[in-house]
Amino acid sequence: MMQTALGRARLEVGDGQLQGQSWYDRFSEQARHAHRTLGRRLLELLMNYLTDPTSRGELLQEINKLGAEYARLSLANDLSLADSVRAFLFFRDLIIDSVIQMAEVLSLHTPHDWADRLRQANLLTDELLLALIEEYERGTALSA
């Protein structure tokens, strides 16, 4: 799943689909590298979350930390909250596509299986988004 999502992200970047996106254009090469590193970590956490129900509480804590890291990176690159959310939504679509492509590995055979796994992926990414927003609000409050 990680390789699929990473490969697709590289294709989208290589095809120039991100060029002209206000949030993407503001990133330095160093910031892009940091985002790639965070993205890999997110995919690892998602894979573990979907395949190991016993560690979900722990993984949600990691997701919250990751969301805060995304926010700090966005703030450091002077991204607006709206642009940070736009970037998140763009890459969340790649993650959901990867879950769909992993149907066999995740044993998604019935509509109930599909719905359950997609809900789990959405729950995890929603937690990340909320952590990003909360940290962003803390960061902007401190600088005000």
pLDDT digits (tens, 9 = 90+) for 107-136: 778 888 888 888 988 999 999 999 999 999
Write down the pLDDT at residue 131: 97
Is the separation of the CB atoms in 136 and 57 below 8 Å?
Answer: no
CB atoms near residue 114 (< 10 Å) = 15
Confidence category of residue 28, pLDDT binned at 50, 70, 90: confident
CB distance 59 to 25 below 8 Å: no
Q: Does the predicted model carry a pTM greater than 0.95?
A: no
Task: Identify the residue with better confidence: 105 or 118.
Answer: 118
Can you tell me the mean pLDDT for 16-38?
Answer: 81
Cα gap 136→100, rounded to integer Å? 30
Task: Assess contact for 64 and 127: CB atoms under 8 A.
Answer: yes
- Give the chain's domains with CATH numbers: 2-143 (1.10.490.70)
CA 38 to mean position of chain CA atoms:
8
pLDDT band (50, 70, 90) for residue 103:
low
Q: How far apart are CA 46 and CA 67, in angstroms?
A: 13
Q: Residue count of the chain, please give it.
A: 144
Own/partner pairs, 32-36, CB within 8 angstroms, 24+ separation: 34/73, 35/70, 35/73, 35/87, 36/6
Question: Residues 128, 66: contact at Cβ < 8 Å?
Answer: yes
- pLDDT value at 4 more than 70: no
What pLDDT score does 85 carry?
94
